Amino acid sequence: MIIVLKNKHTLQVDDFSFKCSIGKNGLTKRKVEGDKKTPIGTFSFENLYFRKDRISKPKTGLKCIEISKNMAWCDDVKCPKKYNKLIKIQNNIKHEKLRRFDNKYDLLIPIKYNFNNPIVGQGSAIFIHLTKNFKPTAGCIALNKKDFLIMLKLIKKNSKIKIL
């Protein structure tokens, strides 16, 4: 199954069209760390990460991983070996904390953009995550919780996302 970002406000999953938000500065073929743009291309999905203390394990074909207090995603251009990878929080490494006070990362799926052998500075931590207000993201794709849960039931491990 291929999920398609049809435009900056619509994610097409099978027969469902979901309202979504994307990067504040739109789409790009030339992603740069911190540019607030969503990368264009076709990408696989990583695992589903979820907050067990806030939501029960969702029904999905993806592998589910509980988010712990020390989980983060490295976005540090000075740390090439860990760049764009799941890490344990370290004060000397710039990172995106996965366990947040807001609910954005109660459910999240990393999009495998710049994923295998990542090129430092070309963008990291591109996720599908939750939103309550559809405000633009820092480069991710955001859905409301109800739609995210429907999407999870439809996608499989080999599903891809096509961002046009």
Domain spanning 2-163, CATH architecture: Beta Barrel (2.40)
Whole-model pTM: value is 0.97
In this prediction, residue 106 carries a pLDDT of 98
Mean pLDDT confidence for 34-54 = 98
In this prediction, residue 13 carries a pLDDT of 95
Mean pLDDT confidence for 84-88 = 98
Integer angstrom CA distances of residue 73 from 93, 123, 164 = 10, 12, 25
149: enclosing H helix or E strand? helix 145-154
Domain borders along the chain are 2-163
Mean pLDDT confidence for 47-64 = 97
In this prediction, residue 121 carries a pLDDT of 98
On the 0-12 / 13-18 / 19+ scale of CB atoms within 10 A, 142 is buried
pLDDT category at 164 given cuts 50, 70, 90 is very high
In this prediction, residue 79 carries a pLDDT of 96
Q: Which amino acid is at 33?
A: E
The rounded mean pLDDT for the chain is 97
Cβ-proximal residues to 116 (8 Å cutoff; 6+ apart), any chain = none
Q: For residue range 124-158, what is the model confidence (pLDDT) as tens digits?
A: 999 999 999 999 999 999 999 999 999 999 999 99
- Cα–Cα–Cα angle for 11, 41, 114, nearest 5°? 115
In this prediction, residue 152 carries a pLDDT of 98
Output the DSSP codes for 79-134. -TTTTTSEEE--TTS-EEESS-SSSTTSEEEEB-SS-SSPPTTS----EEEE-SS-
Q: For residue range 5-17, what is the model confidence (pLDDT) as tens digits?
A: 998 999 999 999 9
